[in-house]
Chain A
């Protein structure tokens, strides 16, 4: 893992990999949204409002999957002191929070025509809102710690928050909720194939875009740090 500890080496690899994530990500997302929004059938119960699924589900997946990535980056920073780990954590947190917010908003807009309400405080909706707050807490704390590289508060906060991930996942099984149970598990799939195709494409496309955005954000932070270091050296040389 410390093979990538050298930022110059990481930057070289990240620069080469980024277009291979972003370009297929854009193409697959566009195809998924076209099929999902126009070329796939309506649902037998919900009609056309089922199409919100093709945005809601990838957003939920990237909100919670992104948080797992943030937690792994924080663990790596705390235990192995990997120089890029907190950079990765900060790069993940903002798009992760954004996708969590998209999940909450799209779910709310989906809830009105199907359930008859924009919001209820059931276990799934509440735990997903807590996930957004955890992201915002991490973002605020890591911004407050930005001038102290040795600070560990944000990383510890994100690790404590991992307790929320199984709660989100199993909320619909542990408690009675308005939100329905999982459609896809290891043993069953309750989504018709012509609707599953755009859903899986959309999850894949948004995931590639997410990974590309994270790499771009890491490169940006490393470049910003380098500029700051150089201008400080220049200022000292002229002083």
Chain B
């Protein structure tokens, strides 16, 4: 009975220590584990000149404009700050105004974010089209 209690104490102690070590490790990891920066993050801490970053947020409603055959310009917003983005290539099917987007690329001299990859980030809502249609207007597809 006594040995069992010793082992239980040891196991709980080890798990608490493990949790503490994990929490410390994660807090050190902090922002470097982030997959993308929001426009507010970029405004607060601008990336170095020519540094490749990922920029994420919502495609601002009404901002998508086609420039040439396969070039699209739009604005990424986090409802606080905005960043203009330009991309040449094929955008994912779910690239839509009002929906999430992640752009990989770098800022040019004029503050335009030139993307070489576009990923669509969808939210956690799932519903049939009819329901979406009655709740709010389905955003127009682009691209």
Residues of A near any B CB (own CB < 8 A) = 41-46, 50, 53, 75, 78-81, 113-117, 120-123, 159-160, 162-163, 167, 174-178, 180-183, 190-192, 194-195
Contacts and interface: CB of A to CB of B under 8 A. Distances in A.
Contacts of B109: none
Interface string B102-117: 1000000000000000
B18 A160 contact: yes
A41 B127 CA distance: 8
A115 B121 contact: yes
Given A44-B133, A44-B138, A178-B102, 20 more contacts: A43-B126, A45-B96, A46-B126, A115-B119, A117-B119, A120-B119, A159-B14, A162-B18, A167-B22, A174-B26, A176-B34, A176-B56, A178-B36, A178-B119, A180-B122, A183-B124, A191-B127, A192-B128, A192-B131, A195-B128
A175 B33 contact: yes
19 contacts: A41-B129, A42-B128, A53-B126, A78-B11, A114-B92, A115-B94, A116-B94, A116-B95, A159-B11, A160-B18, A167-B26, A180-B124, A181-B124, A190-B126, A191-B125, A191-B127, A192-B131, A194-B128, A195-B127
A184 to B, nearest CB: 9
B124 A79 contact: no
A78 B7 contact: yes
B75 interface: no
B95 to A, nearest CB: 8
Contacts of A44: 127-129, 131-133, 138
A159 B16 CA distance: 12
Contact of A175 (B35, B95, B123): B35
B122 A114 contact: yes
Contact of B33 (A78, A113, A123, A191): A123
Nearest to A171: B33
B122 A175 contact: no
Contacts of A190: 123-126
A179 to B, nearest CB: 8
A162 B15 CA distance: 9
Nearest to A199: B126
A215 B133 CA distance: 47
Given A174-B26, A190-B124, A195-B128, A113 B35 contact: no
